[in-house]
């Protein structure tokens, strides 16, 4: 039930919306963890001042964004936390979808031990939290989402209502800070921000 390559070869705005209700899976030696995606953000490098790839050459950490969709873009933020992104669209079009929150569904005990908490809501309610809960690190940079360790499954679930809101913590991005490019499972108790 893995999402096919074609799913990712579209605009990040379409992929970000369609990822709500899908299931993110990470397979590690310690075990398998899974969560339903309830919150995403789209970053469109060509036109988006908030994107890492905005007016930047395809070097260093952003290189993977310039390949085809369906690969993992993982980076470290504030020297402490990792953020998990999905590369979308065709080669030479640097667009990604940031995964911001999950509803834990499988391997919850393992997530709890990694996160040092038993509070279900605290496991995956933020981009840095969910990578820690699933054990995703910079070693997963460039991982093929059609491979066998880090991938996204279709669930057959259709969220009853999806909302679009401005993105979180990009005040530095000027007008782009107001674009409604954050997508949420409306009413989910597992969001990073209400």
Residues near DNA (CB under 7 A) are 41, 43, 50-53, 56-57, 59-62, 73, 75-81, 83, 85, 96, 98, 115, 122, 126-129, 138, 167-170, 172, 192
To DNA, the closest distance from the beta carbon of 156 in angstroms equals 27
In the bound state with DNA, the residue whose beta carbon lies nearer, of 49 and 68, is 49
Q: How far is the CB of 44 from DNA (least distance, A)?
A: 9
**Shorter beta-carbon distance to DNA: residue 107 or 127:** 127
* Residue 59 Cβ vs DNA, minimum distance, rounded to whole Å: 5
In this complex, which beta carbon is closest to DNA, that of residue 156 or of residue 194? 194
Taking the alpha carbons of 92, 7, 107, 162 in that order, is the dihedral positive or negative? positive
Burial class (CB in 10 A: 0-12, 13-18, 19+), 182: buried
Residue 191 beta carbon to DNA: minimum distance, rounded to whole angstroms:
11
Tell me the C-alpha distance between 69 and 96, whole Å.
8
Regarding beta strands 162-165 and 23-28, do their DSSP bridges make them parallel or antiparallel, or are they unpaired?
unpaired
Sign of the dihedral defined by the CA atoms of residues 142, 87, 2, 6, in that order? negative
Q: Which is nearer to DNA, 105 or 122 (CB)?
A: 122
Minimum Å gap between C-beta 6 and DNA is 22
What region, left, alpha or beta, does residue 165 occupy, with left being phi > 0 and alpha being psi -120 to 50 degrees?
Answer: beta
Q: How far apart are CA 155 and CA 153, in angstroms?
A: 6
The contacts of residue 55 (CB under 8 Å, 6+ apart) are none
| Minimum CB distance to DNA smaller for 12 or for 25 | 12
Q: Quick check: helix, strand or coil at residue 182?
A: strand
Nearest-approach distance from CB 118 to DNA, in angstroms: 13
Of 156 and 168, which CB lies nearer to DNA in the complex structure? 168
């Amino acid at each position: 039930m893995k999402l096919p390559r074609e799913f990712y070869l579209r605009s990040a705005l379409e992929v970000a919306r369609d990822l709500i209700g899908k299931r993110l899976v990470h397979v590690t030696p310690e075990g398998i963890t899974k969560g339903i995606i309830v919150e995403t953000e789209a970053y469109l490098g060509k036109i988006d001042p908030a994107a890492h790839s905005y007016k930047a050459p395809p070097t260093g950490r952003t290189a993977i964004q310039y390949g085809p969709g369906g690969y993992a873009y993982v980076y470290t933020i504030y020297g402490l936390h990792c953020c998990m992104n999905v590369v979308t669209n065709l080669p030479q079009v640097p667009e990604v979808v940031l995964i911001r929150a999950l509803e834990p569904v499988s391997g919850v005990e393992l997530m709890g031990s990694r996160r040092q908490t038993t509070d279900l809501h605290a496991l995956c309610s933020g981009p840095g939290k969910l990578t820690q809960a699933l054990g995703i690190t910079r070693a997963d940079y460039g991982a093929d989402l059609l491979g066998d360790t880090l991938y996204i499954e279709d669930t057959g679930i259709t969220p009853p209502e999806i909302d679009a809101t401005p993105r979180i913590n990009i005040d530095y991005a000027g007008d782009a800070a107001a674009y409604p490019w954050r997508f949420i499972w409306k009413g989910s108790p597992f969001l990073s921000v209400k």
